[in-house]
A and B are shown apart, each in its own frame.
Chain A
Amino acid sequence: NAGVTQTPKFRVLKTGQSMTLLCAQDMNHEYMYWYRQDPGMGLRLIHYSVGEGTTAKGEVPDGYNVSRLKKQNFLLGLESAAPSQTSVYFCASSYRRQGALGDIQYFGAGTRLSVL
């Protein structure tokens, strides 16, 4: 199993350019998430999805859009990149909650994005 795969691993953009980060999972998970990690800030949730065709905002959604057209894929888009969006982006997925167990989120390897 590949688990959670993120594409690309590295990217450099100029201010104002657009790009899409792709996340794919092969675990048949219902939930998918996008986080950003900045030095000293931990991980902060950007957007998430609880199922195909649904998305919702997280803690820091401004400047990003997402789409979940297929259950296994979750796309993160930057329409007009800004230097403040320089970060490491992580995708994660998890099962729908069952019983008394909390959902374990499984993470991809991350995408390092620099916006100049």
Chain B
Amino acid sequence: AQKVTQAQTEISVVEKEDVTLDCVYETRDTTYYLFWYKQPPSGELVFLIRRNSFDEQNEISGRYSWNFQKSTSSFNFTITASQVVDSAVYFCALSGQGGSEKLVFGKGTKLTVNP
């Protein structure tokens, strides 16, 4: 069975602090895909990043960076110099070889960035 664990239920930081959101996954598939989505207070789900299991390169996009480590089954998300607009619920998700219908979400981490 596939499982995604986001152990941090809520995080609160002050603007300009760096913050890391943890994601640990479980799967028996050799080929799988990991995702991060953002859900701002307005409620919609916004795709942030996709990573396949054969690509362990870390990725940086502006203030966002992702650290994928197969050895620890983790796909952590770091926001550098956080801003109030980063306040949202962030979801990590996993899909395996069965196809995209098997997308499994973690329970989410609520990030609050205070001014």
Check A43 for interface membership: any CB of B closer than 8 A.
yes
Check B19 for interface membership: any CB of A closer than 8 A.
no
Question: Judging by beta carbons under 8 Å apart, are A41 and B100 in contact?
Answer: no
Question: Judging by beta carbons under 8 Å apart, are B35 and A102 in contact?
Answer: yes
Interface hits, B47-78 → A, CB 8 Å? 47, 50, 52, 54
Additional A-B contacts beyond A43-B45, A109-B43 (19; CB < 8 A): A33-B103, A40-B107, A42-B108, A45-B103, A48-B101, A92-B45, A97-B100, A100-B54, A102-B50, A102-B52, A104-B35, A104-B50, A105-B47, A105-B100, A107-B37, A107-B45, A108-B44, A109-B44, A110-B44
Give the residue name and chain of the A residue nearest to B33 (CB): A102
Give the residue name and chain of the B residue nearest to A38 (CB): B107
Check A90 for interface membership: any CB of B closer than 8 A.
yes
| Residues in B lying within 8 Å of A, measured CB to CB | 9, 31-33, 35, 37, 42-45, 47, 50, 52, 54, 91, 95, 99-101, 103, 105-108
Instruction: Determine the chain A residues whose CB is within 8 A of the CB of B9 once the complex forms.
Output: 40
Instruction: Determine the chain A residues whose CB is within 8 A of the CB of B101 once the complex forms.
Output: 31, 33, 45, 48, 50, 56, 58
Tell me the dominant secondary structure on chain B's binding face: loop
Q: List 18 A-B contacts (CB under 8 A).
A: A31-B101, A33-B103, A42-B91, A42-B107, A43-B45, A43-B105, A45-B103, A88-B43, A90-B45, A101-B50, A102-B33, A102-B35, A102-B100, A103-B95, A104-B35, A107-B37, A108-B44, A109-B42
User: Which of B42, B47, B52, B54 is in CB contact (< 8 Å) with A106?
Assistant: B47
